[in-house]
Amino acid sequence: QLQLVESGGGLVQPGGSLRLSCVASGSNVDSYSIGWFRQAPGKEREAVLCINSRGDYTRHDDSVKDRFTISRDFAKNTVYLQMNSLKPEDTAVYYCVEWNRGSCPRRAYEPDNWGQGTQVTVST
């Protein structure tokens, strides 16, 4: 099973940018789909974006359209979440996740593996 470690969270002002990283370790990392969930205070966890084994992405949350970008560096076993034009409602714990499949699910379901999460706070 894969181990997932997120980093890059912190405090940022509205309109600012932040890049999160997820380093995956284990066997056949390149074969799996990796994505991001987030959980805001008092809300359930929601799927945000996923990137498959070919580098194609699937967006699960329309609120991040034109603002968030997912990418991966296969050589480094690392997936990134570039977040621009951040809003206070983006404040959440962001989790790196993995599905045991090469393609991203069209509709997100419970991932097979979770990272521990990294806090993103958007505030003045």
Closest CA to 59 of 71, 68, 48: 48
Q: Is the pLDDT of residue 1 over 90?
A: no
Q: For the chain, give the percent of residues with pLDDT over 70.
A: 100
Q: Which long-range contacts (CB under 8 A, 24 or more apart) does 49-53 make?
A: 49/81, 50/99, 50/104, 50/105, 50/108, 51/79, 51/104, 52/102, 52/103, 52/104, 53/102, 53/103
* Residue 111 CA to its chain's centroid (Å): 12
pLDDT of residue 109: 96
pLDDT of residue 49: 98
Closest CA to 111 of 88, 73, 84, 79: 79
First to last CA, the chain: 40
pLDDT of residue 2: 93
Q: pLDDT tens across 89-104, in order?
A: 999 999 999 999 999 9
Q: pLDDT tens across 24-82, in order?
A: 999 999 999 999 999 999 999 999 999 999 999 999 999 999 999 999 999 999 999 99
